C-alpha cells in the first residue's frame, strides 16, 4: 500500500495547475462493505420522518351506538360500526408515529466514509480542481466545461468550501451535480455518485477535520490553541 496517492489539480481552463496528495489513511484503506452497509442504512433511517399514523377503533369518530340488537337478527353480534371489519372502522396494528434513527458512533461513520472514498480513488474517480470559474463571477458554462474535462459520467459529487459562493452558484442548478460542503461529506452521497470532485480548499478542509473523525469546531479549537502557544 502506497503512502500517498497523487492526482492532478486542474484549473478553470482545464489545464494542469499542480498536484494534490491524497493520504493513504483516507483514500487507500480497505473497504469494509458490511460497515458501509450499516452506516448507510442508519443514515437513510434517520432521514425518515416517522410521522405516519392510523386511527384505532377507539380514535375513529362515531360508532358509539350499537348497530343492532344483540340477539334475534341471525347476524353476528356487533357493538360498533367502527370495529376493524367495517368500512370506516379503525385499523388494527397500523403504523404509529415513531423515531427511526439509529445510534451510529462517529468513528464508524468516519471509517465508512474513508472506505467509500478509497473505493472511488482506486478507480480513478476522485478529482481535484483549483476552481470552476475563471473570473470572480459565477459561470455555469465554465463549471460544466471543467466537469467535462474530468469525467463524462452521469452523477458527480462536488465538494466545496462553505464560503465558496462562486462554485455554489455556478453548479447549484445543474441536475447531474450534487453539491456538498466539506464537513457534510458522507458515505451515502459518495456511493451514489460516479465521481467525487474536490476543490483544493475543500480537500484541505476535509483532511484537516472530518476525514479524521473530528468536527470543524474541534479543528478550530486546536488552531486557536496553537496560535496561543506561538505568542
Considering only CA atoms, which of 85, 88, 63, 90 is closest in space to residue 75?
85
pLDDT of the residue at 212:
60
pLDDT of the residue at 15:
82
Q: Which domains does the chain have, with CATH numbers?
A: 5-48+100-208 (3.40.1370.10)
Please say whether the dihedral angle defined by the alpha carbons of residues 97, 192, 157 and 25, taken in this order, is positive or negative.
Answer: positive
Q: What is the pLDDT of residues 191-207, one digit of tens each?
A: 999 999 999 999 999 99
Give the pLDDT of the chain (231 residues) as one tens digit per residue: 456 788 888 888 778 888 998 999 999 999 999 999 999 999 999 999 999 999 999 999 998 999 999 999 999 999 999 999 999 999 999 999 999 999 999 999 999 999 999 999 999 999 999 888 887 888 999 999 989 888 888 899 999 999 989 999 999 999 999 999 999 999 999 999 999 999 999 999 999 876 665 544 444 444 444 445 444
- Tell me what percent of the chain is helix, strand and coil, each rounded to the nearest 5: 40, 15, 45
pTM value? 0.78
H/E segment holding residue 196: strand 195-199
pLDDT of the residue at 5:
83
Q: What is the pLDDT of residues 26-41, one digit of tens each?
A: 999 999 999 999 999 9
Amino acid at each position: 500500500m502506497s503512502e500517498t496517492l497523487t492526482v492532478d489539480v486542474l484549473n478553470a481552463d482545464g489545464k494542469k495547475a499542480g498536484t494534490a496528495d491524497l493520504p493513504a489513511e483516507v483514500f487507500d484503506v480497505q473497504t469494509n462493505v458490511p460497515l458501509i452497509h450499516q452506516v448507510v442504512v442508519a443514515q437513510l433511517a434517520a432521514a425518515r420522518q416517522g410521522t405516519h399514523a392510523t386511527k384505532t377503533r377507539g380514535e375513529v369518530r362515531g360508532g358509539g351506538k350499537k348497530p343492532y340488537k344483540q340477539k334475534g337478527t341471525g347476524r353476528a353480534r356487533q357493538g360498533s360500526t367502527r370495529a376493524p371489519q367495517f368500512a370506516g372502522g379503525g385499523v388494527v396494528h397500523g403504523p404509529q408515529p415513531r423515531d427511526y434513527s439509529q445510534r451510529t458512533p462517529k468513528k464508524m461513520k468516519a471509517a465508512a466514509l474513508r472506505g467509500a472514498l478509497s473505493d472511488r480513488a482506486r478507480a480513478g474517480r476522485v478529482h481535484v480542481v483549483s476552481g470552476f470559474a475563471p473570473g470572480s463571477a459565477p459561470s455555469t458554462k465554465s463549471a460544466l466545461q471543467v466537469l467535462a474535462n474530468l469525467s463524462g459520467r452521469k452523477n458527480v459529487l462536488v465538494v466545496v468550501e462553505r464560503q465558496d459562493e462562486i462554485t455554489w452558484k455556478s453548479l447549484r442548478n445543474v441536475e447531474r451535480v450534487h453539491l456538498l460542503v466539506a464537513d457534510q461529506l458522507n458515505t451515502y452521497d459518495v456511493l451514489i455518485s460516479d465521481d467525487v470532485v474536490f476543490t483544493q480548499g475543500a480537500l484541505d478542509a476535509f483532511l484537516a477535520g472530518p476525514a479524521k473523525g473530528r468536527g470543524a469546531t474541534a479543528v478550530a479549537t486546536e488552531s486557536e490553541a496553537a496560535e496561543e502557544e506561538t505568542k
